[in-house]
Amino acid sequence: MQSNPNTLLISADNQRTILEPQLVDAVGVVETAFRKKVAGEVLLPDKISVVFDEATQNRINCMPGALLKDNLYGVKWVAVFPENPKEGYRNVTGTIILSELKHGHMLSVMDAGYLTEIRTAAVGATAAKYLSRADAQAIGFIGAGQQARRHLDMVKIVRPGLKICYVSSLADGSTDRFIEEESVLHPDIEFVNCQDDYESAVRNADIIVTAISGQEPILKAKWVKKGAFYIHVAGWEDEYAVAKSAAKIVCDDWECIKHRTQTISRMYKEGLLTDAEIYGNLDEIVAGNKPGRENANEFIYFCSVGLAYIDVSFAKYVYEKAKQLGIGTDFAF
């Protein structure tokens, strides 16, 4: 009997080698994945999320998904422990397994932490491409960690006219570190250190990002200016009035979000938000089936929960590039 082909092990460092020089490709990966979803080429089984601590939202997720025409199926096993950075650990760790669907061979096992960072920010940037004002010049962050950095890098790709970045955080020194590192990458942006003053980071922003791991309503509706676009990254970080004041609420996938713990999920469970109040999913907008931003005055709210078929799409991209470049380690299980 023939033995199965070797599996390619791809580390986070391997992924950085592949992705960092070509971050612009990340938005294209997301757009292609969304178009495949609308075309019926995606299989998205239910995500299994087990929360081990309701207060911190420590959880481990099992996220399977398939790209049917590509003959690929993958699963991401990812742990999200928001309090980890306080002890010097990454808050997101995990593994992606990628298999082909002709013989079921396991093509690759790869790190999921770094890839999740890239995917999350790339989805946010894709939303910004379709839902923020084309003339957006100011971006404001609540949170100054790795996800904030990733979002700035990605959003700058789709909104190259960004000229000012407001950044705030409760973590000691984090805004200083953010500005020190990001100003090197983006010398054309003026950085404003708002320290722990969230309102100052938000009130003049055309694009707002809450890149935190909190579980309380930090962002206030009265801070959001007319025509702003809001990227909701984590769980519960904005008061209900923020969503209620939006002209459009857009999701990566409302059916996946509505039973989770995001702000709008809580509102839905409490009877304060209905299905009819959700404008649509981002895939519909990317595919051209619904308009995105229709005027300069709309405040648009975007919420994503993370979708396995987009993770699989990134795993496909990384695997193919690794094979081309001879990166990674062959392993016989």
Averaged pLDDT, groups of 10, the chain, 333 residues long: 82 96 94 98 90 86 95 94 83 92 95 93 98 97 94 97 96 92 96 96 97 86 97 90 98 92 94 97 98 97 95 97 96 86
Looking at CATH, the fold of the domain delimited by 7-115+308-331 is given as ornithine cyclodeaminase, domain 1 (3.30.1780)
Determine phi and psi for 38, rounding to 5 degrees: -65, -30
Scanning the chain, the segments in alpha helix (DSSP H) are 12-19, 24-38, 113-131, 146-158, 174-185, 198-202, 240-244, 254-257, 263-269, 282-286, 308-325
pLDDT of residue 264: 96
Phi and psi (nearest 5°) for 126? Answer: -60, -45
Q: Which of 103, 91, 74, 125 is nearest to 2 (CA)?
A: 103
CATH architecture observed for domain 132-303 = 3-Layer(aba) Sandwich (3.40)
Hunting for tokens 């006219």 — which residue is that? 161
Conformational region of residue 164, where left means phi above 0, alpha means psi within -120 to 50, and beta covers everything else: beta
- pLDDT value at position 260? 83
Predicted TM-score (pTM) of this structure:
0.93
Which pLDDT does position 2 carry in this prediction? 62
d(CA 31, CA 28): 5
**pLDDT at residue 49 in the model:** 84
Residue 196 burial by Cβ neighbours in a 10 Å radius (0-12, 13-18, 19+): middle
Q: In sequence order, what are the residues at sequence separation of 6 or more whose Cβ sits closer than 8 angstroms to the Cβ of residue 322? A: 8, 10, 14, 18, 108, 328
Q: 44: which residues sit within 8 A by CB, 6+ positions away? A: 37, 65, 66, 253, 256, 307, 308, 309
Pairing state between β 207-210 and 229-232: parallel
For residue 92, give the nearest of 104, 102, 103, 79 by alpha carbon: 79
Cα–Cα distance measured from residue 177 to residue 146, given in angstroms and rounded to the nearest whole number: 11
Question: In the chain, where are the structural domains located?
Answer: 7-115+308-331, 132-303
Q: Within 10 A of 323 (CB to CB), how many other CB atoms are there?
A: 14
